[in-house]
Structure 1
């Protein structure tokens, strides 16, 4: 499984270094960007699992970045935690959630709160990657296992394996049918 990647976006290098220090024990790759534009360029070349996003940045603020991110289908589901030095108004909070923010952190950052929130998202990202891997295997079950198994069962000289393989084939077909039903229900 590929490592979890956290992208921190802040125009203040000291804030990025502080985040990196707090999150140093989390089993994830920490990537820093000093602007929203730099972050977008990074995301063109890397798979990112979580974004820590400062709201107040020059050129493109956190809201603009978040809106841009949500308009890109490949990045629309990435959890984003917005970081701000001021308490949001109700309209700003609503706008952030509408654009897809999942949480907020208030500066000055409390290290334990940062660690717990990001750690939770990293755990969820690992679960999602595991589920996607299972999904990939299940999607290939028919052509990768069931069809070759059926072909093997049809050959002569393998009758002593026939009963066990037939039972296994039936179980795999049931699993495949169940998975197809789950996948098609999305």
Structure 2
């Protein structure tokens, strides 16, 4: 399975983020999964790509021209797909991937996983969406999703289709048993 990993071009300020990213890559490789990601050589992107390549797995980068031109593209990937812009990057990443995991990251990481979750609700993504909740990073967002349910803006069934976890066993089970949400009707 190809897994899209949304992650930042920085390491964050706690060594646990890098450590858990390496553990995720080790788990992915052991399970026979491949990586689809933003194509960068820096930050958690570079950590994930380097580790997957070290395991002999595919590391497929999708990067817009303007970022490639800033010389942050990873030079040793299995494949580097260059697209025109960020919209095409997300569309291509989604096309290539069967599961979606967000590591801790900034606004770009949040935007990417949010769009994929949103696409699930309208029938444009049938893959599982997971927020890798390292060090409780995504707890405020988890609380917000629960508030969306309590305030009537998200159904409990759709909320249950998004996993917040840092437990690789739980993540594996979620992916294996995942069923896409019913297409939202109005």
Could you tell me the TM-score, scaled by structure 1's length?
0.44
Could you tell me the TM-score, scaled by structure 2's length?
0.44
Q: Which has the larger radius of gyration?
A: 1
Larger helix fraction of residues = 1
More RCO (CA 8 Å, sep 6+): 2
